[in-house]
Amino acid sequence: MGQTVFIPREVDANEPRVAASPETVKRLAGLGFEVIVEKGAGLGSRITDQDFAAAGAAIGKAADASKADVVLKVRRPTDAELKGYKSGAAVIAIMDPYGNDAALVAMAKAGVTAFSMEFMPRITRAQVMDVLSSQANLAGYQAVIDAAAEYDRALPMMMTAAGTVPAAKAFIMGVGVAGLQAIATARRLGAVVTATDVRPAVKEQVQSLGAKFLAVEDEEFKAAETAGGYAKEMSKEYQAKQAALTAEHIAKQDIVITTALIPGRPAPKLVSAAMVASMKPGSVIVDLAVERGGNVEGAVPGKVVTTENGVKIVGHLNVPGRVAASASLLYAKNLYAFLETMVDKATKQLSIKRDDELVKATMLTDGGKVVHPNFAKAAEAPPKGQHVEPAAIPATVIVAQASANPAAKKTPAKKPAAAKSPSSKSPSSKSKGTA
């Protein structure tokens, strides 16, 4: 008898994505699995129960999780869901483990072998499994669409007999996967685009997309990237110099999109209240890091805030979920590609190779214990229901509190004050994806 894969309907009302597609259901069946999809699981992503059934899945109910050997999810399972899983089941999802030690302990006590897809190493072999990239790519696209909707003017330059409509100026802060897609999308819509990042390697990528790169390019800048390709935390001196440069630039922009995140840390503050105040009425800022505390001072999770000077700060949650029909197809493929590596092709049984580099990088719990080295202290989790965020970053990564006055560039920068951070909303409540 084959093993069972269960695809639940996400219990979070704000999560429309689903962890399977008709294509991956067919492929899972081909690996030897019996696939059960909870009734209505795909409706938020425009996938009907009939679509899943036609691909070979059985349409079931939440209680069917109790017989599953593998559970594929979008978000980390809740305590209530864990009670319905059998001990030893493999659970694969976007786990958002940082700051959620109690949830890790709960998964360990439930006896499940939990894998965090956002920990997938960025190596050639795992490219097709890279959840952060697949979801951040769509988040970057949607950020521009959301900005255009709030901007209420044309983005491209239009020359007509009645006069010329100037092109909108868009500034992308943070050039990871989301940032690059935001640049490309804004350029396709006709905006004049500039972008900034502390990693020198992205300058060429920005320019290849037809945008202008903006940064203080000193010696510190040249070494500002980790071995894994993420941004390093910059010195206060660099932050002050970059602050003066970006403050002057932001005042001239129509659209600003911020995408900066550091794994396991609250989002760095990039845009101060003074910078927001320097922008023209009708300008738009989209904060893709709002679920981790936000890159923009004044951003509110789940809200579009209009400031006193008429600037809109967009803080939509779960931005990939705003294009769920596309996001689910990519995410389902990520999950399938990873699960396939753990299936013995001869016996068609789940066979987790615990010495495999992908397994070691992503496995959070196993055999009743928290096993990931990043969470060795998870057993000391706070009482149930008490959420503890990681320690705040002592200084911002790119922009310190600085005057929005263009003259700031001409005078010695003052030592930046610590920026206040808006309260963070736990994103697992989150996806992930912006990177």
Please say if 3 is a catalytic residue: no
Quick one: three-class SS letters along the chain? CCCEEEECCCCCCCCCCCCCCHHHHHHHHHCCCEEEEECCCCHHHCCCHHHHHHCCCEEECHHHHHHCCEEEEEECCCHHHHCCCCCCCEEEEECCCCCCHHHHHHHHHCCCEEEEHHHCCCCHHHHHHCHHHHHHHHHHHHHHHHHHHHHCCCCCCEEECCEEECCCEEEEECCCHHHHHHHHHHHHCCCEEEEECCCCCHHHHHHHCCCEECCCCCHHHHCCECCCCCECCCCHHHHHHHHHHHHHHHCCCCEEEECCCCCCCCCCCCECHHHHHHCCCCCEEEECCHHHCCCECCCCCCCEEECCCCCEEECCCCHHHHHHHHHHHHHHHHHHHHHHCCEECCCCEECCCCCCHHHHHHEEEECCEECCHHHCCHHHCCCCCCCCCCCCCCCCCCCCCCCCCHHHHCCCCCCCCCCCCCCCCCCCCCCCCCC
Annotated catalytic residue within 133, 135, 272, 403: 133
Annotated catalytic residue within 50, 66, 87, 127: 127
Please say if 130 is a catalytic residue: yes
Annotated catalytic residue within 64, 96, 101, 130: 130
Please say if 349 is a catalytic residue: no
**Nearest Cα to Cα of residue 288 among 187, 419, 155, 176:** 176
Annotated catalytic residue within 3, 49, 188, 230: 230
Please say if 133 is a catalytic residue: yes
Please say if 134 is a catalytic residue: no
* CA 273 – CA 279 distance, rounded (Å): 10
Residues labelled as active-site residues: 122, 127, 130, 133, 230
